[in-house]
Chains A and B, each alone.
Chain A
Amino acid sequence: MNYRLMSSVAAATLMATTAVAEEVRVYNWSDYIDESLLDQFEQETGIDLVYDVFDSNEVLETKMLAGGSGYDVVVPSGTFLQRQISAGAFQKLDQSKLPNRENLWDVIEDRVSKYDPNNEYAINYMWGTTGIGVNINKVKEVLGEDAPVGSLSLIFDPANMEKLSECGVHFLDAPVEMIPAALAYLGEDPDSQDVDTIEKAEPVLAAVAPYVQKFHSSEYINALANGDICVAFGWSGDILQARDRAAEADNGVEIEYYAPKEGALMWFDNMAIPVDAPNPEGAHKFLNFIMDAQNMAKASNYVYYANGNKASQEFLEEDVIGDPAIYPDEATLENLYTTSPYDPKLQRVVTRMWTKVKSGT
């Protein structure tokens, strides 16, 4: 990690001294865009685009809170966005430079305003749910035809997990995803900020942890697609990418995604401009470019995540807009919950609990 931090500091210094051509530096999640859009942006605007990727909100947040990241556009998820806004990490968007903003979807803007009141600091890029990916044939082989694939009892009932451990289960290594899910399974409020309620999640998670082959937040895509594991609790688009990779490989693996019927976490990844961005002007141009209906549709068609752009929907391919796993129907949408950021004390309880669940210490 040191090396990474150092290299980014070095890169930032280098940039400060050699900034001749106009440049925009974007820091986005890995595997999260159609890369032809990056060339297109450079051609349309004549601005050099430097595109870096990260794989966890924590890494992004640490850079934002350290300050001087050198990035012009970053993509934090909802609760992280909220916390970084209160830390003063972002600048207010200049709406006059974002004419494409009218393309955005009011339903999603409304939900994001929970984290960013009045949508002053960020625009929604993509959103999705956290749920269960299953290798349907293997799961039925192990648990029988009536396996509860659409329910959290598949992954939180030790009796099921004991059998599933034969064919392999991965969980996200993210307590902010797993604890709300365990609370939803118990029928508690998944967005609870109460220590006693949150601690009820621990026995549920600890009971099934021994049957989890790995806690990891990205390896499950390949593991599911190759048939190495039969169940993953992960992010919707990632599991759908696994489904497609398996279909392309034609290896007989059939993946399905379910947003659990007890409720599924709905999350939002949003683009914002750091307060110390070297080129806020260019950052606004990039945001406006991304909010173009056709560009946004291109990105969603590529990564299989829903976006917050109403106007883009007419350009979406049928297997994206028509797939209820990506664009849930009204009934499922009702069943989705959102979460709020934990305060530092609670965050410590949550991290500690997660270490205990994973390592038994």
Chain B
Amino acid sequence: MLMRRALLIAVPYLWLLLLFLVPFLIVFKISLSDIALAIPPYTPTFKDGIAELISQLDFENFVFLASDDLYWKAYLSSLQIAALSTFMTLLVGYPIAYGMARAPEEWRPTLMMLVILPFWTSFLIRVYAWMGILSSEGLLNQFLMWLGLIGEPLTILNTNVAVYIGIVYTYLPFMILPIYAALDRMDESLIEAAEDLGCSRTQAFWLVTVPLSRNGIIAGCFLVFIPALGEFVIPSLLGGSGTLMIGKVLWEEFFNNRDWPVASAVAVILLLILIVPIVLFQRNQQKQAEAEA
């Protein structure tokens, strides 16, 4: 019995160890190394022996990151883009989740299906489709010109606006699903009670519905914010040369400078930045689980 329990607990820990801790330690080790013209392109490696290895590691690359304003500007700009697009995803996602939760029972599985459906197509293809929609000869511009709203095509593709559109579109389901789950569980008689006690519909929404879906909102925001912060594909395909995001900087360190140690240092700092929201998210999930138990 005890054995079985220990085994059960060991599974998630083993998972964490193999898929998170070990890769992280490898990246961390590379971030303390020096660039070299060799295979692999850094030194020292484990071939040099453990003692030699440890004596050669240092924090030089982290010092370097602090010396150039490119890096902190890229972190800041990524934080800003991630925060703003999370907020916009919430603005778009909440009404959709609300509508789903208030829809007749028999429609809900279909609506749920429609939210999940885009996942059946490759993420990359969907981002490419947005390139076709947003380009200056694209669908959106042609439609707006046909309506006569604009005379000249708008430049949307290769700007930050396109990046926001891409992130909001891609991560929308991650916002909708937890909010929907929270709203779906809500007892509707609470709204009736609020109205009986003199609340208007809007007041009931803000005083009852929103607080009760708080956990869904928090979960959705984290699920969007965390991956958006390190996003690489969306800014590189939809963004312009002026779009500064840490994912792109990381790519350049790795591929253009072939400086794996500095690239790893950038990644380690990104992870440290992400640990704060991840821990907050975990704590929120735990509190919620306790409250329900």
Task: Give a binary string over A332-357; 1 marks a CB under 8 Å from any B CB, 0 the rest.
Answer: 00000000000010011001101100
Answer yes or no: A87 CB below 8 A from chain B CBs.
Answer: yes
CB of A359 within 8 A of CB of B41, answer: no
* Total CB contacts across the A-B interface at under 8 A: 73
The distance from the CB of A122 to the nearest CB of chain B, in whole angstroms, is 17
CB of A65 within 8 A of CB of B244, answer: no
The distance from the CB of B36 to the nearest CB of chain A, in whole angstroms, is 8
Q: For residue A361, which residues in chain B have a CB less than 8 angstroms away from its CB?
A: 69-70, 73-74, 244
Residue of A nearest to B39 (CB): A67
Answer yes or no: B255 CB below 8 A from chain A CBs.
Answer: yes
Answer yes or no: B257 CB below 8 A from chain A CBs.
Answer: yes
Residue of A nearest to B249 (CB): A355
CB of B35 within 8 A of CB of A344, answer: yes
CB of B241 within 8 A of CB of A351, answer: no
Q: For residue B69, which residues in chain A have a CB less than 8 angstroms away from its CB?
A: 361
Answer yes or no: A21 CB below 8 A from chain B CBs.
Answer: no
CB of B70 within 8 A of CB of A1, answer: no
The distance from the CB of A86 to the nearest CB of chain B, in whole angstroms, is 6
CB of A86 within 8 A of CB of B37, answer: yes
Answer yes or no: A105 CB below 8 A from chain B CBs.
Answer: no
Residue of A nearest to B262 (CB): A348
Q: For residue B68, which residues in chain A have a CB less than 8 angstroms away from its CB?
A: 352
CB of B258 within 8 A of CB of A215, answer: no
Known: A351-B252, A361-B244. A61 touches B70 (CB 8 A): no
CB of B255 within 8 A of CB of A67, answer: no
CB of A344 within 8 A of CB of B255, answer: no
The distance from the CB of A202 to the nearest CB of chain B, in whole angstroms, is 15
Majority SS at the chain B contact face: loop
From B242, B249, B251, B258, A65 is in contact (CB under 8 Å) with B258
The distance from the CB of A101 to the nearest CB of chain B, in whole angstroms, is 27
Known: A87-B41, A344-B257, A361-B73. A215 touches B252 (CB 8 A): no
From B35, B70, B232, A355 is in contact (CB under 8 Å) with B70
Size category of the A interface is 20 to 34
Task: Give a binary string over A22-48; 1 marks a CB under 8 Å from any B CB, 0 the rest.
Answer: 000000000000000000000000000
Known: A352-B70, A361-B244. A1 touches B251 (CB 8 A): yes
CB of B242 within 8 A of CB of A360, answer: yes
Q: For residue B136, which residues in chain A have a CB less than 8 angstroms away from its CB?
A: 228
CB of B158 within 8 A of CB of A351, answer: no
Q: How far is the CA of A88 from the CA of B288 in the complex (A)?
A: 56
Q: For residue A344, which residues in chain B have a CB less than 8 angstroms away from its CB?
A: 35, 37, 257-259
Q: How far is the CA of A359 from the CA of B136 in the complex (A)?
A: 21
Q: How far is the CA of A347 from the CA of B257 in the complex (A)?
A: 6
Residue of A nearest to B242 (CB): A359
CB of A66 within 8 A of CB of B242, answer: no
CB of B254 within 8 A of CB of A89, answer: no
Q: How far is the CA of A275 from the CA of B38 in the complex (A)?
A: 12
Q: For residue A212, which residues in chain B have a CB less than 8 angstroms away from its CB?
A: 241
Question: Could you give 21 example pairs across A and B, Cβ below 8 Å?
Answer: A1-B251, A58-B255, A64-B39, A65-B38, A65-B41, A87-B39, A88-B38, A89-B39, A173-B241, A209-B241, A344-B37, A344-B257, A344-B259, A347-B258, A351-B252, A351-B256, A355-B249, A359-B242, A359-B244, A360-B242, A361-B69
Q: Could you tell me which B residues sit within 8 Å of A by CB distance?
A: 35, 37-41, 68-70, 73-74, 136-137, 158, 232, 240-244, 249, 251-252, 254-259
Q: Could you tell me which A residues sit within 8 Å of B by CB distance?
A: 1, 56, 58-59, 61-62, 64-67, 83, 86-89, 173, 175, 209, 212, 214-215, 228, 275, 344, 347-348, 351-352, 354-355, 358-361
